[in-house]
Structure 1
Amino acid sequence: MSLLDQRFDFSGAKIALFCEGKVLSSLRDDFPNLPYAGYWDLPGGGREDNETPFECLQREVEEELSLTLTKDHVDWVKTYQGMLDPEKLSVFMVGHISRKEYDSIILGDEGQDYKLMSVDEFLIHEKVIPQLQDRLKDYLEERVYE
């Protein structure tokens, strides 16, 4: 059974979605008390009930961007220490969408904006969540050695 389908205690799931070589990034709301308010983020979020990592990711991406992901969109998956709850694991995925899918995005009620960011910009931008920069670097380094 793939990690995508396992039921275990994790805090949430995020995905770096590539479209035409760029990373789909979303701008977080600017609410006081919101962790990383006003930072660029990746699609995904917190787990609800007894979701699998893929169910969590699929629901969050649908809510945030009106995109319906299938497992075919996901190319890589790995667990990390949770960002907000270090006692729990979080799941990080990398995947891809087509230009047609990107053009169909409708921003949900979370987040202020979204855009495609070059990998270099994502990795050095001072307003990208640092743990997500590290996770994407991790993926890129692993891919180089495959």
Structure 2
Amino acid sequence: MSTTVTSPSSSSYFIPNTGSTARDYCMLERNLLSHLKLALLLSILSASIILRARLVPVADYDNEDGGVPLASVEFAAAVVCIVAGGWEYYQGYWDLKSGRAFLVAPKLHLTLMTLVATTVFGTAIALLVFD
């Protein structure tokens, strides 16, 4: 089975489905969908902080914008997660298309996802301490 891929010069060519090409492509799609799911969860967390759904610390509950800084950080983490997922997908796609090995994750992706993980962990600690 072969897959037709159009190149920038508008001519098409076949990428033969040998070895693990199809499995690798499915892996790239699965990783992108996992990044989007994490971004959606972070966005929901951001919205629930803004709507004060039992996540805003008691000391900030009376303030007009009590949860906005924390919600902004969570939403920024969601955007970074989408960027990291897109970067990993397109980088892996071009590596797959050119036949290069891509088992080692790009350093930019690792850095961005470390920032997202630190944000999530820091938010969990902050909400536990304030509660």
TM-score, with length taken from structure 2: 0.22
> Considering only CA atoms, is the larger Rg found in Structure 1 or Structure 2?
2
1 or 2, which has the higher helix percentage?
2
1 or 2, which has the higher strand percentage?
1
TM-score, with length taken from structure 1: 0.20
